[in-house]
Structure 1
Amino acid sequence: MPSEPPARPAPPARPAPPAHSEPAAGRVRDHGTARIGLALFLVTATVYLATAGYHRIHIDVLSANVGAWRIAATGSAAIDGLDTSGINPSRVELFSTEHDGHTVIARSPGVVAAGVPSYALRQLVTDAGTGVEDFTNVPPSVTAALLTALSVLLMWGALLQLTSRRAATAAALVLALATPVWSVAADGMWTHTLTVLGISGMAFGAARDRWLLVGLFGGIAVWGRPHTALLAAALALACAVAQRRPGIAVRVGAVGAALTVGASLWTHWLYGRWTPSGGYAAAPYLAQGTDSSQYEFNRTLGGLLQNEAAMWVALDRGILVWTPVVLVLAPLLVRSWHQQPVWARALLVSGVAYTLFQGAVAPFHGGDGIYGYRHGLELLASATPSLVVAAGHAGRRTRVVLTAVVGVQLAAFTLGGILNRPTLTFGHQWNDNAFASAVRDVPALGAWLVIAVALVFLLTRMFLREPDDDAAASLRA
């Protein structure tokens, strides 16, 4: 019998990868995700920078800009002896108050403080003077555009923990380009620029179990609007109880309290008060139902209820009117409620509570010359994670409706984001809508509406075909 061939030697064993290394597929996914995130930030930042308000500035934003400029140029927010007529062409005076015998700009701490670094950089680079001829709105407008692009990126990072990468990217773009985030938060240094950043950062931190970040961004939101402390507190407490981890509340509370103390120090420096509200005294806002209330609407129950309703359904300021995607997804939100992570539910519920409180202390319209709404932006940011989860439960018919609605929103906010007009004057916010008015005046805009809806349908068909379960799970990993 022929002898058996000699056995082949076994191939040398491959060295085991280091314990800390990731699978190649994981590294590819991480690199791909990072590239998408960078592209998302660059696209939104470019759009926002190109369309921010550099000349036609709302009085709220202009007042904050002047305060930041004066601090950067002179070390003080005082505007004594400054002829502001060359800065402020409107009939409304800059928001100011008196402190220690000086007239100082009266705005919330964050909107003034956020503009100081960019103005200081301009002073350093250009050696600009301190006269009105040296004033410009450009530095804080650039800052607002970049901060809002960062907000979109942070929200996208939170959504990656809830859905597929494509769906998260699509949702982030809807938030960025088809809502008042573009026409308000990214247009100039509004308080909402900081609150949207803060809420997006809180969502990012909570989604990744990074509670110091939640406290940090919660504190940033407080610098914009103090009552956003409700959002951070509710989020921290809900997750601490649900996970039986009191350390969550301790971390969020400690960091948030430190930043709130900073806002109080700022307020004391400029206005001599220890509240974190900046140039706004809290008492007139909270004196509801009395003659000492700053506003007439909250002196009676009927006026208060009407103002609360207007926050949602007024034709030119209503959350559900300008962003009907919320209304379309509401039934799915209820159906998917128990499948929502605790942090997303807490953020949504606290956002609703915040909005009801906002409707009780300030007029629903938020002032004149605004395209879209601004007092509902905190709810929009707070609700986005839950709405994205709800959208994942949409059937075929609901997806068609959802796509059409997003197209309409994109058409409306492209107009408002680029031009920040037309805007309606006082008295028309209940019974008219700025975009509808524009379409009536310029019928050609109806063609843009059709194109925008068709474009969204095309992009949805190209990029949002439902991945199979394994692919979706790998993207969420």
Structure 2
Amino acid sequence: MPENQQQPNRPSWQIGVALFLVAATLYVATAGYSRVHIDVLSANIGAWRIASTGEPWIDGVDVEQINRTKATVFTTTHDGHRVIARSPGVIAVSVPAYAVRELVTDSGTSADDYSSAPGAVTAALITAASVLLMWGALLRLTSRRSATVAAVVFAFATPVWSVAADGLWTHTLTVLGISGMAYAASRERWLLVGAFGGVATWGRLHTVVIAAAIALACAWFQRKPAIAVRVGALGAVMVAGASLWSHWLYGKWIPSGGYAPSNYVSRTTGSDYDFNTSPVDLLRNEAALWIAGDRGILVWTPLVLLLVPLLIRTWKSQPLWCRAMFLSGVAYTLFQGWAAPFHGGDGIYGYRHGLEFLACATPSLVLAAVQAGPRLRLAMTAVIGVQLTAFGLGGILNRPTLTFGSHWDNNAFIQAFRDVPALLVLLALVVAATFLVTRMFLSDPEPEAVPARE
């Protein structure tokens, strides 16, 4: 081959396969198999019972033998039976994995036969699929190299690794749904936007605001009402499916499953949900989602804050669906701050209530990042190295985590350095490696795709 003739670029599908396999392998290897949060454990038990018995009831099962946490498994009653109380998706999605385990191992239905592995593997594979979908969306916005780097950061330098891929949280499904909506919207496949929007609502019902914002904004500004009809029609079918599921398990047609809306609108004094009875407490809870030491979006992922000036500068040139998704992520997070305590519970590394915003904001933030100058790129590299260290620690070890009362004025990552100062060496090595990789593979300029104006 002549020296001036370059090898053809590797096809995008090969990069996508490699990205999925790397993410899936790391996620499966580091998922939570023994140290399982009560939210995840409850969902796993529900799926295991359906797969092993064909019914959702947990009557006669010593769930406390399974439960190794300090909290109580989430249950309710229906037709005189005990049943796991969780959103539809986190139970339904791992039923196939538990069914495969039943076929392979011929295990029984007692507490001794339970395993968290099928649920953990399911969460890992779902999150790897989310990374692939987000990468596919970013390919329509920027160059292949920039899209791939951004997808790697999304996958391993955020709580996508330490939370969504660790076990079957509701956020595992919402991140999948939002990433899928981004992929579909970037290709103007509006039925698929509705389908992935429905997937997100099976995880957390109020993500409906995200699909609605994309559909209505694109329909209005493009003067194409059919967009809203297509998204809404398939989304409605998905929500109806969640209602059917809820009726089977709980005897109610509410698509939120085991979550009763009364918990969020009835504020009993002294409960975890009484904070929005006071304007000051409500504002404090809202602010904590962004700046609390151990739960703040901007604290754990400062790359977001670093990109805000460029985001403002590039805002008008960004595709309509990106802007709609970003703003709907902000709206969703504000609603989340009204609906539930900012911390999201104990035993979490990073944040979970901000994951929906992170997924919604990623396309816009990537479009901003590719416009960064040399100095900002240098700062971004350092920050990404720190985030990779932080979430590598949490993703691999599933710890350290802080207890209640420490979420405002402490941070698990910083506390880890206090406890084990030698971790500073790891931080220095990862940051140095990030700079080295950037210099070796990303220093040459590459033409960026121009975002389509709508």
What SS does structure 1 have at the residue aligned with 2:11?
helix
Match in the other structure for 1:357? 335
Q: Distance in 1 between matches of 2:259 and 2:175?
A: 20
Report Cα offsets for 1:14-36 as digits up to 9, x if no partner.
xxxxxxxxxxx9xx65x611111
Match in the other structure for 1:13? none
Match in the other structure for 1:10? none
> Residue 101 of structure 2 aligns to which amino acid in structure 1?
R
Question: Following TM superposition, by how much is the alpha carbon of 1:423 offset from its aligned partner in structure 2, in angstroms?
Answer: 0.2
Say yes or no: does 1:405 pair with 2:392.
no
Say yes or no: does 1:332 pair with 2:319.
no
> Residue 344 of structure 2 aligns to which amino acid in structure 1?
G
Equivalent residues of 1:287, 1:293 under 8 A apart: no
Match in the other structure for 1:161? 140
Question: Following TM superposition, by how much is the alpha carbon of 1:133 offset from its aligned partner in structure 2, in angstroms?
Answer: 0.9
Match in the other structure for 2:344? 366
Match in the other structure for 1:451? 429
Which residue among 68, 73, 79 is the counterpart of 1:100?
Answer: 79
Which residue among 425, 442, 446 is the counterpart of 1:464?
Answer: 442
> Residue 445 of structure 1 aligns to which amino acid in structure 2?
L
> Residue 163 of structure 1 aligns to which amino acid in structure 2?
T
> Residue 250 of structure 1 aligns to which amino acid in structure 2?
V
Match in the other structure for 2:109? 130
Match in the other structure for 2:55? 76
Report Cα offsets for 1:212-242 as digits up to 9, x if no partner.
1111100000000000000000001111112
The 3 A distance-change label for structure 1 pair 390 and 241 is same
Equivalent residues of 1:191, 1:224 under 8 A apart: yes
Q: Distance in 2 between matches of 1:473 and 1:334?
A: 19
Matches within 5 A, 1:25-104: 32-104=11-83
Which residue among 137, 148, 153 is the counterpart of 1:174?
Answer: 153
Say yes or no: does 1:280 pair with 2:290.
no
Match in the other structure for 2:216? 237
Question: Following TM superposition, by how much is the alpha carbon of 1:286 offset from its aligned partner in structure 2, in angstroms?
Answer: 2.5
Match in the other structure for 1:142? 121
Aligned residues: 447
Equivalent residues of 1:284, 1:294 under 8 A apart: no
Report Cα offsets for 1:31-82 as digits up to 9, x if no partner.
6111111100010000001000011000000000000001111122211221
Match in the other structure for 2:353? 375
Q: Distance in 1 between matches of 2:112 and 2:263?
A: 36
Q: Distance in 1 between matches of 2:378 and 2:219?
A: 39
Q: Which moved more, 1:189-198 or 1:74-83?
A: 74-83
> Residue 121 of structure 2 aligns to which amino acid in structure 1?
V
Say yes or no: does 1:220 pair with 2:214.
no
Matches within 5 A, 1:386-401: 386-401=364-379
Match in the other structure for 1:8? none
Extract structure 1 runs of 4+ deviating beyond 2 A: 290-294, 465-469, 472-476
Which residue among 296, 299, 308 is the counterpart of 2:274?
Answer: 296
Q: Distance in 2 between matches of 1:422 and 1:249?
A: 44
Q: Distance in 1 between matches of 2:299 and 2:31?
A: 24
> Residue 431 of structure 1 aligns to which amino acid in structure 2?
D
Which residue among 283, 292, 295 is the counterpart of 1:305?
Answer: 283
Match in the other structure for 2:179? 200
What TM-score results when the alignment is normalised by the length of structure 2? 0.96
Q: Percent of counterpart pairs with the same letter?
A: 66
> Residue 87 of structure 2 aligns to which amino acid in structure 1?
S
Q: Distance in 2 between matches of 1:326 and 1:474?
A: 22
Matches within 5 A, 1:409-448: 409-448=387-426
What SS does structure 2 have at the residue aligned with 1:97?
strand
Structure 1 gaps of 5+ residues are 1-24
Equivalent residues of 2:141, 2:451 under 8 A apart: no
Question: Following TM superposition, by how much is the alpha carbon of 1:284 offset from its aligned partner in structure 2, in angstroms?
Answer: 2.2
Equivalent residues of 1:284, 1:292 under 8 A apart: no
Question: Following TM superposition, by how much is the alpha carbon of 1:287 offset from its aligned partner in structure 2, in angstroms?
Answer: 3.5
What SS does structure 1 have at the residue aligned with 2:76?
strand
Q: Distance in 1 between matches of 2:376 and 2:252?
A: 52
Question: Following TM superposition, by how much is the alpha carbon of 1:467 offset from its aligned partner in structure 2, in angstroms?
Answer: 2.8
Q: Distance in 1 between matches of 2:451 and 2:270?
A: 56
Which residue among 234, 242, 249 is the counterpart of 1:270?
Answer: 249
What SS does structure 1 have at the residue aligned with 2:40?
helix
Q: Distance in 1 between matches of 2:449 and 2:195?
A: 31
Q: Distance in 2 between matches of 1:116 and 1:106?
A: 15
Report Cα offsets for 1:141-169 as digits up to 9, x if no partner.
10100000000000000001111111100
Report Cα offsets for 1:384-414 as digits up to 9, x if no partner.
0000000012111111111111111001000
Question: Following TM superposition, by how much is the alpha carbon of 1:466 offset from its aligned partner in structure 2, in angstroms?
Answer: 4.8
Larger radius of gyration: 1
Equivalent residues of 2:319, 2:451 under 8 A apart: no
> Residue 407 of structure 1 aligns to which amino acid in structure 2?
G
Equivalent residues of 1:284, 1:293 under 8 A apart: no
Equivalent residues of 1:285, 1:294 under 8 A apart: no
What SS does structure 2 have at the residue aligned with 1:336?
helix
The 3 A distance-change label for structure 1 pair 452 and 104 is same
The 3 A distance-change label for structure 1 pair 451 and 294 is closer
Query: What's the C-alpha RMSD, in Å, of the aligned pairs?
Result: 1.8
Structure 2 gaps of 5+ residues are none
